[in-house]
Amino acid sequence: MPRFAKLRFFSCSHTFKTLPLFSQQMGLASVADTLYTTLHKNNVNVETLLSKLNPKLDSRCVIQVLRRCHHKESELGVRFFIWAGFQSGYRHSAYMYREACNLLGIVRNPKIICDVIESYEAEGCLVTVNMFREALKMCKEAQLADMALWLLGRMEGFNLRPDTVMYNVVIRLCCKKGEIEMAEKLVKDMSLNGLYPDVITYMAMIEELCNVGRSEDAYALLKVMRVHGCMPNAVAFSAVLNGFCKSGSMERALELLDEMEKVGGNCSPNVVTYTSVIQSFCKRGQWTEAFDILDRMKAFGCQANHVTVFTFIESLCDAGRVEEASRLIDKFVVEHGVSYGECCSSLVISLIRIKRVEEAEKLFREMLAGEVKPMTLSCSLMLKELCKKDRVLDGFYLLDALEKMGYLSSIDSDIYSILLVGLCQKNHLMESTKLARIMLKKSVLLRAPYQDSDIDILSKYGEKDLVNQLTGIHKGLS
């Protein structure tokens, strides 16, 4: 039985003796210490005591209390976290919900939330909608659909009614769990409680209906939305259109695209809409139809982006039509305003993926010679391929060139580590030292299992200061 259930029956409205002012307690203990101590008061409702303290909460203070509770007092921690979530001048951030779920072990033991709710009833505590709202947000973070459903049903026992936002939390969780029938039931329950679904409700339902292959039902919801005053937008239409594409209903997808173009306004198709149709045609090898959509896209005044480019180039390269893919670059640059670097990078990536690495490297070096900035992914893949072929020295000089040109933005840190250990093992001390200094400059973390061998080799060659700095960065970022 939860500890709270053993307490004497007290109401939140019970009159207590005046507590010492919180500001007077501050000389003896920190805010977190005082709050934590208050949680252990026996025979009293802790929410009332906490509120009487009237503390000025912030995220740091809340985290400190949770850390004190996270070993064997998770129930206390959840109760405190729920109370803190709706105090004046403070609201939990998304980060705080993540931390609370981690520290209090909500995923491992979701029953903690149930025990807290039952403790409210055992103590006769005045329970509010805000308390359930905070508990539901914890379920949302921990992806606890069953517990969220239980909370929604448990509200009735406290004569409380959930609002649309709370229903949406549970509906989304059910959808993510694949329980579309339960989500549909909840939507019906909303109307029975005098509530109407909003755009968030409909989008959750539309996306999941499409995921389970019920695109026609999702399309029907677009009309239902209008009846309830929620005008569907391009995002909703695009989700349904994408559902038709995934299920292979290309005729229905094109019909919906026609409808979007005719309706216009907020329902006008965007680059995501058109690219979704293009991807479906490309996957089927129907490039003529895909190019028709590209032309239609341009005629509608919508410009392609790098995703559209990559869709075409990747599918053509996969089919062995590399020359045709290469010729597309000028078309996208001239007619759609996509950067030359993005187009060439798409080709580099596609060539690497079909194992035509020499062609990819040649194009990549031509880009650098022409001062064309490559995309980060193409840089990472190119460097990885050089490392795979044990060309660590070539890899280093390429990375060094990218660094000097200012093209290294978010290269995978594993690449630095692989290059460094390769250079060290081949006794390229000058290059390994230079690479290590680049890593220090960028605060790049040395990754296991490379860090020990790199540090040993550099130390062997008398680079102890450099090793100390690399180790310092590792300790600071780990």
Distances (CA, A) of 51 to 25, 65, 87, 118, 409: 15, 15, 8, 21, 48
478 pLDDT more than 50: no
pLDDT tens by residue, 17-39: 343 444 444 433 488 888 888 88
- The owner of tokens 């403790």 is 119
Give the pLDDT band (50/70/90) at residue 357.
very high
Count Cβ atoms below 10 Å from residue 22 Cβ, excluding itself: 16
3 pLDDT more than 50: no
Least confident of 88-97, 199-208, 395-404: 395-404
User: What does the DSSP assignment read for 129-178?
Assistant: HHHHHHHHHHHHHHT-HHHHHHHHHHGGGGT----HHHHHHHHHHHHHTT
pLDDT tens by residue, 430-460: 888 888 888 877 777 666 655 555 556 555 5
Tell me what pLDDT residue 432 has: 81
Helix 111-123 vs helix 145-154: crossing angle, to nearest 10: 20
Per the model's pLDDT, the better-predicted residue between 26 and 380 turns out to be 380
The whole-chain average pLDDT of the chain stands at: 86
Tell me what pLDDT residue 167 has: 96
Q: How far apart are the first and last CA of the chain?
A: 40
Mean pLDDT of 97-113: 94
Mean pLDDT of 261-282: 93
391 pLDDT more than 90: yes
165 pLDDT more than 70: yes
Q: What is the pTM assigned to this prediction?
A: 0.75
Residues 136, 137, 138, 140: is their CA dihedral positive or negative? positive
**SS3 category, 420:** helix
Q: Label residue 138 exposed, middle or buried (CB < 10 Å: 0-12, 13-18, 19+).
A: buried
